Every structure is written in structure tokens, then in C-alpha cells.
Structure 1
């Protein structure tokens, strides 16, 4: 099977989509690994998910099928391997673990997250567990202002680590719920802004650096995948956003959005997915969170008025200086470009992804934080 041409039109469906309807599944999202390999997540009619992979090379597909075994199956005409119930050739015990908990995330051969009676169980390849433990321990010691997951135990043989549950609802769920009173929404975002200010003021020693150039490269890498698979129109290179202006180095989350912030208890709001904590520019966190508010409004998951309420409350709690707000405008363009590519790999949001890319390519005027 051949992979799609470099300049395939944005309306051409990627090759892996044909496998879903034949298996009674709907594609939810995909993560490109290369031009010839994509990780997949399918939706079942009952709301559950099935992991999978697309291979441009039929021999690689059949090799993966034979090594995965169990409940795995292949649609060779579409180049797709389906991996229900945690079937995985590298996360060897995942299928067994999935019978004792709810499999929430399964990125084949890389990682998985399960909800269990004792907390959230993360599974990686056993050879990667030491790195996971080191990163989460280091991150937990830096997350000032937030309630964060606590590691309860781990199993080196299985490649798993168990973490405590962080109380509260995500700010995504809070905003999307029409029953949430405006005052409650504003208070939650105000507290999140204050907690993020404390995080940005905490020491960043020992954390990996993430520069403005790094963030720009991430956005272009994602966009390149979407262009090569024909999911977004390839723009004139001259229209691409420039790398953001570098700023002061502080402790940052690096991938902050409304699904990782929780209302928490009276002591502090919650923060999850700490693996990305880094030493970088706080303006990146500001831009990422505010652009996600734009995205939720565009998705129809948050009204424009509630998005503006959340934005105002968050900035009120964070109290960023003018220089940070100005740099956030530069990061916002890179964030929009990255999110356009990410959502282009989610069929439900293809049209929105094209609008996001157009917004990212629009010339900036006046700087400042994203509106």
C-alpha cells in the first residue's frame, strides 16, 4: 500500500478511515508517528474506544498483527491493525490489566492509562518506567499552588505506576455544563490563575529546557504531518508564523489546557499530566490556555460569553505583566497552528481545523494576549 502524496487535497480522506465502518467503528482521533505510521483511536457505538495503528507497509502490518496476537485483527486493504481490549505487543500485560479497570487511554506500544479502584494506573514499556517515575517525582516537587497526583506504588515488571485521584471537575467540564453558575465558573478560573502564578514563581532547577524555538518546531512538525496527509491545505511558507520572541525562563507546565486543570478542594485547584513540566517562558502557558478557550467556543462547547468570563477571571488571578502578555501573542500563533494540525487528525473537527490554520496564518497586529 502506498502512502498519500505530499500535496493531496484537504478533502481526500486518509487511507486508514476505510477500516472503521467495516468494523462498526468511528474514528475519534489519530497521532502521526511518521509519513508511514499513525496511531489510531476508534469509537465504539457504546462509547468505548478501540486502539489501532495504520501502516503504509503491508509487511509491517502483518508483523505487528502476528506479534500482538490476542484479540487483534487487521484490515489489510486499509492498512489498519485493530487492538481491542488492550491488545498490545509491547505493553504485554495491558490486556490483562484492562480486565480489572477502565481503559481510558491507549496509545499503542507507547502508553496507556486505566481507572482502577485504587487510582489511576499508567502503563508504559517496562524499559521506560524509570524515566516516567523520575519525571513525575521531579514534577510533583515543583507544582507549587496546585493539588497534584501522588504516586502510590509501581511495578517494574509490568511497567506500571499507580497515582492518586485528584479531586474536582476539570475546567473543561465545568464550562461545558450549562448548569454551572457564572460566578462558580469565574471563581474556578480565578483560582487557576492564582495557582499558575505560584507555579511560575517556583524554582525550575533540574527541569528540561523548552525554548521558544522548541515550541515553534513542535507546531511546524505537527503541521507538516497534517499537510503531508492532505488533512490541511499546504500554505505559502512566507505566511507561516515566526518563532515567538524568547522571554525569561521560569517553571512552566508547557502543555496547559482546561482538561488538565480541576476545581479541586478548598486548599488548591488540581493539576494533572505533569510529565511536561519544563523551564521555559510563562507566556507559553498563558497563550496555550487562552487559545484553548477560543477553541472551546469555536467547538460550541463553551459560549462566547462564558469563554470571555473565564479569560478575564484567569488573567485576573494570574496578573501577568504587559511583557508576558505581549509575548503570549506570538506563542498564540504557534499554538493555533499546532492545534489546527492536532484537530485535523480528528474527523469531527476537520472543518474547524482549517479555520484554525487560517487564523494562525493571519498577520499579527498589535501583539498582546490572544483575545
Structure 2
């Protein structure tokens, strides 16, 4: 297995930022009090993002380590240091000593001596300075009162609010869930989305408009989180956290999840879309090309394979038209669904656009294949699951362009393979995901009966690391 590598020279020794063991040594030397008692013995590389466009001039990384019964995240910025800022200037009362709290690691901001590397905790994000407030339960308890919500503490507590970081892209956006936990009093279950720009305000308006359309079209069977308000100072859009079960916890391959996903997509694809930004095959390929460059930089042994697959995707994008657009989600897969007995809730409308419905279906199927690998260790059941999903969708909206579906699914598989190739636990998924992408491009169509052998003995599933 070809391992990703990002070697840097730190003082008098080498450190590979994409190797958990190497990073563990770095953490122990820089944060001895935090890493006491073997806390940094199990460091995992969770994510790696390119920074800079169109060519990555640096990388943002997320590592986790185990301490006090849970995993804590550390974020790093390597390269592109001309953009480095100190976040404490915006919060002069902040502590300079990192600490482990009930909500995670806080107070870390450290420029590593002799290296183009900065380590941070989310509350020290230089480009999202509001994070120091968003992740502070005391200050957020007070701020939520402005929206008519009064989180009250139980006996002997000043504040019961919990601030849990969800989706986070350093320097760009973050999702924070607010909840009361076990305390008595009014329950507060909100989701806040904060951005570097004014996207949150636009997101509130989008949710209001989509909510009204969904009520009119399907009576609320499909819905989106209800907006609560917008905090100008924090640049944060607040939504009600919808009750129900996340689809991935129900079981991604169950009939209930499949039916809910199809129902949600059919309704979303029928929404008015005239003022959405256009997203076409060339836009899709631009994302592929960005990840191709990343793989070439970080995993040189597979750079040739990435270049070849990306070239084939570029050729396929030229053969894919962008006619007959619809409203599309652009990041649709099972984790974007919350299921309840009476409805299905669709999350994360941040990237909605106008484009080919196969963008969403191809992305969903690519993630379905990944989930089969993660949950079963092979993908033997995938062809039947995929064909069932596509047939159910076509039964409600008519036949899909299977050539377009092959391109968008292959593109999603390429991106997923590249993303997971840089992660400690799931790097073994890349060969299978890319082989499926090549198969789709070979046949230029999506047909479940012509899919490659995905049994454990075919050489694809071997080496997969959960």
C-alpha cells in the first residue's frame, strides 16, 4: 500500500505530518502537559485539505488523539504561512495555555519552531475569530437569550449548555451544535453555522424559501431545519436541530433509508432553481483536478494513476452536457438525512446549485459503495443496492441519462479515493474506489449487471483498513 507522506524538518529532526506515530512524537514534545500519561500514543490523521487555488500552496490537517475517554482534535496549517495571523489579538482575555475541557481541546495556538507549521484548536481559528465565543458554553448561554431561548442550569450548575463542534473547515466555516444535556429546564437543541463571509445570512433566506416550497409541494414529508435567527456579531445562522435518527445510524442499506433518500431527492430536484448558481461538468472536473494535484504532491507512487484517471474524467466531462438543469444539493449522501416516523429532514443546503440531477445520484452511490466497504469489509451487495436505488428514482422522475450518471459517479469515486488515501484508518479504500471509477469510464454508462467483481477474493477488498 502506497502511504501518503508530508515530511517537514522541525528543529533537528524530521516529522511526517501524515504519519500518526511521527505526529505523536511532535505533540509530546510541544504539549507535554496535555500528552501526559500516554494521551498522544494513538494519533490518527483524520483529514487533509489543500490550501490555495488553483495549485495547493499549503495544507490544512486534522489529527485526533485519545485522552480522558474521548478523542480530541488538533488542527494544523502547513505552508501558505503568509496568511498566518494570531487569533489572540481579537480576544485579549484568552488563555495562552492549551487545556482539555469537557467540550474538547481549547486554547492551543502554537507556531512550531523552525517549521512553516501552526497548530491550533478550533477556538483559536485566526480567520474565524468568532469561534472563541461559539465554543464557550458560558458566553453562548447568554447570547441565546437574545433569540428567546433560556438554557437553564440544574442544581449547583451555572450553565448546562454544551457546545459540540460538528463539521469544521479551518478558516472557512464551522457547524456547532448546542444542547442542554441532562440539565432540567427548557431544552435547547440548536445548530449554528458560522462562516468567514456573509454566507450564513444568505443561508437563512434559502432555508426560509425552501421550507415554504416543501410545505406547499409535499405537506412537510420532506423538510429542512427551521431557521431561528442570525447573530450578526458571530456571523452565525441558527437553526432548530431536527429530532430523529441520522440515516447512517439506522443502517445505510435498509429499505427505509433508501426510500427516504429517493423521496428527498425527488422533491429537492423539483424545487425552483432559476436563481441558483450553475454547476456543470467542467466545474465537477475542476474539483477532480485539484485533488489530482494533491495526490501528486503527497503520494508520488500513485501520481501516475491519478493523472491517468483524471485525464479520462476530463475527457468524459467534455462529452457530458449541462442541459436540462434542476435544483441539486451537491453533497447528498446518507449523512445528510435525519429520519423520523413522519418525515425526512435534509441537512446542509450550503452548496445547492442548478445542474444535472446525476450529480446528486452519483455522489450518493459513491458513498453507498464506501459505506458497504466500511460496514461489511466488501461490496458484494452494492450492485443490487445501487440498481434498486436508481430504479426507484427513475420510477418517480423518469429514466436518467446513464452516461451522465457514470461520469458523475466516477468523479465522486475519484474524490472519495483521494480524500481517504490521506487518512490513517481508511487509506485502503482508494484502490477499490478508483477501480470502480475506471470501470464506469470504460463502459461510459451505469449498468449494475456489468459491474466488476467486488467479492473479497477479487483482490479489490484486500488491505482495506477500517
TM-score normalised to structure 2 length:
0.67
After TM superposition, give the deviation of residue 281 of structure 1 in Å: 0.7
1:56 aligns with 2:79: yes
**Counterpart residue number, 1:234:** 304
**Counterpart residue number, 1:334:** 411
1:47 aligns with 2:70: yes
Q: Higher mean Cα deviation, 313-322 or 25-34?
A: 313-322
Query: Residues of 1 paired with 2:4 and 2:420: CA distance?
Result: 16
CA contact (8 A) 1:344 1:354 kept: no
CA contact (8 A) 1:210 1:278 kept: yes
1:265 aligns with 2:269: no
Which ranges in structure 1 are unaligned for 5 or more consecutive residues? Answer: 1-8, 177-181
The one of 149, 159, 183 aligned to 2:225: 149
After TM superposition, give the deviation of residue 20 of structure 1 in Å: 4.3
The secondary structure found in structure 2 opposite 1:300 is helix
Supply the RMSD in Å over aligned alpha carbons: 3.1
The secondary structure found in structure 1 opposite 2:259 is helix
Query: Residues of 1 paired with 2:200 and 2:265: CA distance?
Result: 28
After TM superposition, give the deviation of residue 79 of structure 1 in Å: 3.8
After TM superposition, give the deviation of residue 256 of structure 1 in Å: 0.8
The one of 85, 110, 115 aligned to 2:172: 110
Label 1:195 to 1:55 Cα distance change in 2 as closer, same or farther (>3 A): closer
CA contact (8 A) 1:251 1:278 kept: yes
CA contact (8 A) 1:260 1:272 kept: yes
Query: Residues of 1 paired with 2:168 and 2:424: CA distance?
Result: 19
Label 1:135 to 1:72 Cα distance change in 2 as closer, same or farther (>3 A): farther
Residues 279-323 of structure 1 show CA distances to partners (whole Å, capped at 9, x for unaligned) of 111111111111111111123358746655653553354225334
**Counterpart residue number, 1:14:** 6
Query: Residues of 2 paired with 1:155 and 1:275: CA distance?
Result: 17
Query: Residues of 2 paired with 1:286 and 1:57: CA distance?
Result: 35
CA radius of gyration, larger in:
2
CA contact (8 A) 2:135 2:164 kept: yes
**Counterpart residue number, 2:119:** 82
After TM superposition, give the deviation of residue 135 of structure 1 in Å: 4.6
Label 1:168 to 1:304 Cα distance change in 2 as closer, same or farther (>3 A): farther
Label 1:304 to 1:169 Cα distance change in 2 as closer, same or farther (>3 A): farther
Query: Residues of 1 paired with 2:86 and 2:239: CA distance?
Result: 31
The one of 47, 57, 67 aligned to 1:36: 57
Query: Residues of 2 paired with 1:168 and 1:195: CA distance?
Result: 15
After TM superposition, give the deviation of residue 275 of structure 1 in Å: 1.1
CA contact (8 A) 2:193 2:200 kept: no
Q: Higher mean Cα deviation, 216-225 or 154-163?
A: 216-225
Which ranges in structure 2 are unaligned for 5 or more consecutive residues? Answer: 8-16, 28-39, 91-95, 97-106, 138-162, 180-187, 452-466
Label 1:154 to 1:323 Cα distance change in 2 as closer, same or farther (>3 A): closer
Label 1:39 to 1:67 Cα distance change in 2 as closer, same or farther (>3 A): farther
Structure 1 runs, 4 residues or longer, greater than 6 Å off: none
Label 1:103 to 1:11 Cα distance change in 2 as closer, same or farther (>3 A): closer
Query: Residues of 1 paired with 2:296 and 2:116: CA distance?
Result: 20
Residues 303-359 of structure 1 show CA distances to partners (whole Å, capped at 9, x for unaligned) of 746655653553354225334334211211111111112222323222212432343
Label 1:316 to 1:204 Cα distance change in 2 as closer, same or farther (>3 A): same
TM-score normalised to structure 1 length:
0.83
Query: Residues of 2 paired with 1:329 and 1:168: CA distance?
Result: 33
The one of 434, 437, 450 aligned to 1:357: 434
Q: Which structure has the higher relative contact order (CA within 8 Å, separation 6+)?
A: 1
**Counterpart residue number, 2:328:** 252
Q: Higher mean Cα deviation, 19-28 or 165-174?
A: 19-28
Query: Residues of 1 paired with 2:371 and 2:71: CA distance?
Result: 23
**Counterpart residue number, 1:5:** none
Residues 64-89 of structure 1 show CA distances to partners (whole Å, capped at 9, x for unaligned) of 57768643123345643222252222
The aligned length equals: 354
**Counterpart residue number, 1:368:** 446
Query: Residues of 1 paired with 2:273 and 2:198: CA distance?
Result: 27
1:120 aligns with 2:191: yes
After TM superposition, give the deviation of residue 208 of structure 1 in Å: 1.0
**Counterpart residue number, 1:4:** none
The secondary structure found in structure 2 opposite 1:276 is coil
Q: Higher mean Cα deviation, 105-114 or 226-235?
A: 226-235
